Chain A
Amino acid sequence: MRAQAELLERQRLEKLAEMEARRTLEQLAHVSRVSALGELAASLAHELNQPLAAILSNAQAARRLLNATPAELDEVREALGDISSDSKRAGEVIHRMRALLKRGEPRQELHSLVEAHGGRLQAESPSGQGALLRCVLPAAHTESPP
């Protein structure tokens, strides 16, 4: 009875240790992802500043065009159209960044290389968490049977 209790206790501790180790690994992975994102942040800021610059210029241009006599309404319409698309573009940049920052469980997924067309395989995670796998194979390899 006592031996069994000891065994159970040891198993419990082992499991706990294993969970702890896994959690540490996940945290480590998260930290390394975040520091990589730190480097990414600069280029993301750049990506955001582009549409923001275009939006600001278009908005200030539109105000001038409306104040002109006669007001240049066609040009104002085009400016507003550009403002809409650049706002969407900025939104997409933020969306992508958020997806990258999201903390998720590490997953293992199987992808068939046979499905590759033209020697290229692209798999994007269906949950939109930003995982991107790109595999470029020499054309000769895709033609040979698995």
Chain B
Amino acid sequence: MTQAPATIFLVDDDESVLRGLGRLLRAAGHATKPFASPSEFLAQLSGDTPGCAVLDLRMPGLNGLELQQAMESKGCHLPVIFISGHGDVPASVRAMKAGAVDFLLKPFDEQHVLGAISQALLKDAAARAGRAETAALHARHAVLTPREREVCALVAQGLTNKEVAQRLGATEKTIKVHRARVIQKLDVDSVAELVRFVDRLGLR
């Protein structure tokens, strides 16, 4: 699967930091997009770009934590690294609780920021792959007829053909046909795999 190259989104109201950090990340081989304000960043946000976001914690308008929430509500799941000129402990705790990858105090060493970024990019790639897989499973499940979905759910609960037939008021023979269709459409090899499939979709 071909994917767009990862982009590091930088948001800091301090122009010098924005330039310096951008230069460092580009010199280390990353593609960067700098923004001097949270609103500029939010305005051009597209949910599909792979990468991560490096956000300053204290900015006029939205602070970094509020920006992180705004990103989530816009459906943007980019992993976030916070940077701050303050040793603000409560804020760093809130940031980490909100799922930030790291919290770096200015001035930070390249080793730390580059380490945090590769961690964030790994996290993003894993989350992206997980979301793509779930979407593919949903797409396969969507192909089932309403009756096949009922059969699928009951088989996943461990019921035999006979039990399913009783539950749905059909003949065992019909259920067998439905069951074969389900296995074929979902492209699974065994009932065990079917159970895992249904679990992944949270349908059980």
A residues near B (Cβ < 8 Å) are 42, 45-47, 49-58, 60-61, 64-65, 68, 72, 75, 78-79, 82, 85-86, 89
Q: A42-B86, A82-B16 are in contact. List 9 more A-B contacts (CB 8 A).
A: A49-B105, A50-B85, A57-B107, A57-B113, A60-B109, A64-B28, A65-B23, A79-B20, A89-B16
Is the beta-carbon distance between B27 and A54 smaller than 8 angstroms? no
The one of B27, B28, B106 that contacts A53, using a Cβ cutoff of 8 Å: B106
Q: Which residues of A contact B105 (CB under 8 A)?
A: 49
B27 and A61 contacting across the interface, CB-CB below 8 Å:
yes
Contacts of B107 in A (CB 8 A): 49, 52-53, 55-57
Taking a contact as CB atoms under 8 Å apart, the answer to whether A50 and B28 are in contact is no
Q: Which residues from B are CB-within-8-Å of A46?
A: 58, 85-86
In the bound assembly, the distance between CA atoms of A72 and B20 in angstroms comes to 15
B154 interfacial by beta-carbon distance below 8 Å = no
B16 touches A51 (CB 8 A): yes
Chain B residue numbers with a CB within 8 Å of A64 are 24, 27-28
From B23, B58, B85, B86, contact of A57 by CB (8 A): B23
Q: What are 8 inter-chain pairs, A to B, with CB distance below 8 A?
A: A54-B14, A55-B20, A57-B21, A57-B24, A58-B23, A61-B20, A61-B110, A89-B16
Judge whether B85 and A49 touch: CB under 8 Å: yes
CB neighbors of A among B62-103 (8 A): 83, 85-86
User: Which residues of chain A come closer than 8 Å to B85, judged between CB atoms?
Assistant: 45-47, 49-50, 53
Q: Kindly state whether residue B19 has any CB partner on chain A within 8 Å.
A: yes
- Checking B14, B24, B86 against A58 with a beta-carbon cut-off of 8 angstroms, the contacting residue is B24
Task: Name the interface residues of B1-51: CB closer than 8 Å to any CB of A.
Answer: 14, 16-17, 19-21, 23-24, 26-28
Contact of A82 among B19, B108, B110 (CB under 8 A): B19
Residues of chain B at the chain A interface (Cβ within 8 Å)? 14, 16-17, 19-21, 23-24, 26-28, 58, 83, 85-86, 105-110, 113
Tell me what chain A mostly uses at the interface: helix, strand, loop, or mixed.
Answer: helix
Contacts of B26 in A (CB 8 A): 61
Q: Quick one: which of A56, A72, A75 contacts B108, CB cutoff 8 A?
A: A56
Which residues does chain B contribute within 8 Å of A72, judged by CB atoms? Answer: 27
Query: Which residues on A sit within 8 Å (CB–CB) of B16?
Result: 50-51, 54, 82, 85-86, 89
Q: Which chain A residues border B27 with CB–CB below 8 Å?
A: 61, 64-65, 68, 72, 75
Q: Which residue of B lies closest to A86 (CB)?
A: B16
Q: How far is the CB of B29 from chain A (nearest CB, A)?
A: 9
Instruction: Tell me whether A58 and B20 are in contact in the complex, defined as CB-CB below 8 angstroms, given that A45-B86, A53-B107 are known contacts.
Output: yes
User: Are B86 and A50 neighbours in the complex by a CB distance under 8 Å?
Assistant: no
* A49 engages B19 (CB within 8 Å): no
**Chain B nearest CB: distance from A69 CB in Å?**
13
Contacts of B19 in A (CB 8 A): 54, 58, 82
Question: Taking the nearest CB of chain B, how far is it from the CB of A72, in angstroms?
Answer: 8
- By the criterion CB–CB under 8 Å, are A61 and B23 in contact? yes
Distance, CA A75 to CA B27, complexed state (A): 9
**A79 in contact with B23 given A50-B85, A53-B107 (CB within 8 Å):** yes
The residue among B17, B26, B27, B105 with the most chain A CB atoms within 10 A of its own CB is: B27
Closest chain B residue, CB of each to CB of A52:
B107
Alpha-carbon distance between A58 and B18 when the two chains are bound, in angstroms? 10
Measured in the bound complex, the distance between the Cα atoms of B24 and A57 in whole Å is 6
